[in-house]
């Protein structure tokens, strides 16, 4: 057993138990309300630079397996849970949380009041935090932790180069070719595209419009990813040069980047949307969808140009959850239609994209 301490931007110090790597790290403290899917959350590149709290109290009970992970490694800076199960029970389980975190050099803090932490974030908003996992006979470096919290500026860090592919990859076979611009794409997105018998060309985040069009794609997908979209100015300029050339579908960060390229802006939500039960209205279908979400920024509805329409609205807070320009064959949603984990209400969006090709 190891010990742990979590230091918050408001000066709060929380002492608890720790597992995984003996380490000291900082990140933006956020929470996820999903009852399952901790594997998918841990390996979602959109969580780069963040310390994740799981609201559901029992985590780790079905262990870790390779089937459901969304990338090759853990991307969260740290993990905070009420109870971390050490002896998982599931026929696919290959290891427990401690082993998994240890291999990925990440720490997990457990045996603390996560409900109290979530209430604090809901009241005051997401905040910087730092933690240390240390051996029982050691003492934590509290002064260093407070310093790390004060120095961190999440919105000024470009995490996308860390999570994007470094080279062009081609996977799948089909008559239609789709370029996936990888800003931190989840495996679930690739899986859904491949299921529709598409030839998928995965390209780095900083690919130019010229390089993308040289692939002669039938369509383009802008993936999810981490961080503040406003700092991706070069990437936004390249997307501007792609709108109207071939059909475009955006997901999560891809929605925000498409919005910026169209002429809109984004703002930071108080505590973000992260979970698997968010109700969203598809205005075109007049249908309510239950969705999986993971984002801390949203598009400004008032700054969206007249030739674009808001296609989806979040029914919890009326924020923009999707945009569309039918004349330019471009649309995007703020949530994750591939789920992983979560409900499959929005799988039709992939079919919609394929029909546009």
Same domain? 211 vs 287: yes
Residues 223 and 247 in one domain: yes
Domain boundary residue, one of 156, 174, 198: 156
User: pTM for the full model?
Assistant: 0.96
pLDDT of residue 234: 98
E strand map for 50-150: 50-54, 58-59, 78-80, 83-84, 107-110, 127-134
Query: How open is the CA angle 315-227-335, to the nearest 5 degrees?
Result: 30
CATH number of the domain within which 185 lies = 3.40.50.880
pLDDT at 29: 98
Our answer to whether residue 295 is catalytic in this structure is no
| Residues in contact with 318: Cβ distance below 8 Å, sequence separation at least 6, in sequence order | none
The verdict on 175 and 142 lying in the same domain is: no
* Alpha carbons 226 and 206: distance in angstroms, whole number: 15
Per-residue pLDDT, 120: 97
- Dist CA 218 CA 107 (whole Å): 43
Residue with tokens 């470009």: 158
Instruction: For the chain, report the end-to-end CA distance as a whole number of angstroms.
Output: 55
- Alpha-carbon distance of 92 to 66, in angstroms, equals 9
Tokens of 303: 């700054």
**Tally of structural domains, the chain:** 2
Query: Which pLDDT tens digit goes with each residue over 160-199?
Result: 999 999 999 999 999 999 999 999 999 999 999 999 999 9
Percent of the chain residues past pLDDT 70, beyond the cut: 100
Mean pLDDT of the chain: 97
Here the CATH number for the domain that contains residue 94 is 3.50.30.20
| Same domain (yes/no): 8, 138 | yes
- Write down the catalytic residue from 77, 98, 252, 312: 252
The DSSP code sequence of 301-322 is: STTS-TTSEEEEEETTT--EEE
**Pick from 130, 156, 182: which residue ends a domain?**
156
Same domain, 222 and 103: no
pLDDT in tens, 293-312: 999 999 999 999 999 999 99
Sequence-distant (6+) residues with CB within 8 A of 177 are 198, 199, 200, 201, 215, 216, 217, 218
* Domain span holding position 88: 2-156
Read off φ and ψ for residue 145, nearest 5 degrees.
-60, -45
Contact 188, 70 (CB under 8 A): yes
Residues 84 and 211 in one domain: no
> Quick one: average pLDDT of 6-33?
98
Q: Which of 156, 175, 200 is the last residue of a domain?
A: 156
Indicate if 123 belongs to the active site. Answer: no
Nearest to 216 by CA among 231, 201, 228, 230: 201
Instruction: Give DSSP secondary structure letters for 240-265.
Output: HTTTTTS-EEEETHHHHHHHHHHT--
**Do 175 and 113 share a structural domain?**
no
Active-site residue, from 28, 235, 324, 338:
338
**Do 273 and 321 reside in the same domain of the chain?**
yes
CB 220 within 8 A of CB 246: yes
In angstroms, the Cα distances linking 179 to 21, 71, 219, 223, 256 are 37, 19, 6, 10, 18
In this structure, the answer to whether residues 222 and 115 fall within a common structural domain is: no
pLDDT of 1: 83
Q: What values do phi and psi take at 138, rounded to 5?
A: -90, 170
Same domain, 230 and 340: yes
Q: What confidence tens digit (pLDDT) does each residue in 345-356 have? A: 999 999 999 999
Residue 41: which of 273, 341, 271 has the closest Cα? 341
Distance CA 121, CA 125 (A): 5
- Can you tell me the distance from the alpha carbon of 301 to that of 264, in angstroms, rounded to the nearest whole number? 8
Does 115 share its domain with 190? no
Does residue 41 sit in the same domain as residue 129? yes
**252 catalytic per annotation:** yes
């Amino acid at each position: 057993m190891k010990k742990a301490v979590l230091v918050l931007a408001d000066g709060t110090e929380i002492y608890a138990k720790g597992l995984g790597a003996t380490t000291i790290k900082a990140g933006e403290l956020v929470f996820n309300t999903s009852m399952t899917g901790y594997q998918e959350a841990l390996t979602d590149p959109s969580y780069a630079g963040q310390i994740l709290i799981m609201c559901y109290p029992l985590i780790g009970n079905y262990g870790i397996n390779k089937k459901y992970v969304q990338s090759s490694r853990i991307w969260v800076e740290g993990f905070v849970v009420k109870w971390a199960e050490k002896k998982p029970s599931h026929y696919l389980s290959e290891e427990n949380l401690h082993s998994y975190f240890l291999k990925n050099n990440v720490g997990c803090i457990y045996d603390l009041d996560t409900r109290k932490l979530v209430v604090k974030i809901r009241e005051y908003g997401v905040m910087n935090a730092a933690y240390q996992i240390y051996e029982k006979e050691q003492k934590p470096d509290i002064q260093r932790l407070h310093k790390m919290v004060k120095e961190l500026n999440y919105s000024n860090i470009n995490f996308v180069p860390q999570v994007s592919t470094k080279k062009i990859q081609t996977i799948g076979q089909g008559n239609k070719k789709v370029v996936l611009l990888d800003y931190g794409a989840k495996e679930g997105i690739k899986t859904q595209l491949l299921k529709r018998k598409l030839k998928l060309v995965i390209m780095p985040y900083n690919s130019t419009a010229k390089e993308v069009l040289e692939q002669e794609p039938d369509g383009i997908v802008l993936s999810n990813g981490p961080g503040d979209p406003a700092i991706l100015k070069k990437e936004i300029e390249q997307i501007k040069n792609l709108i109207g050339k071939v059909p475009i579908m955006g997901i999560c960060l891809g929605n925000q980047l498409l919005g910026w390229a169209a002429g809109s802006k984004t703002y930071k939500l108080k505590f973000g949307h992260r979970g698997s039960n968010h109700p969203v209205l598809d205005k075109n279908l007049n249908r309510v969808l239950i969705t999986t979400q993971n984002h801390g920024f949203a598009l400004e509805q008032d700054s969206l140009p007249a030739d674009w329409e808001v296609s989806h609205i979040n029914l919890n807070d009326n924020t923009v959850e999707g945009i569309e320009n039918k004349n330019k064959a471009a649309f995007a949603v703020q949530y994750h239609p591939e789920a992983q984990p979560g409900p499959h209400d929005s799988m039709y969006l992939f079919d919609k994209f394929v029909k546009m090709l």
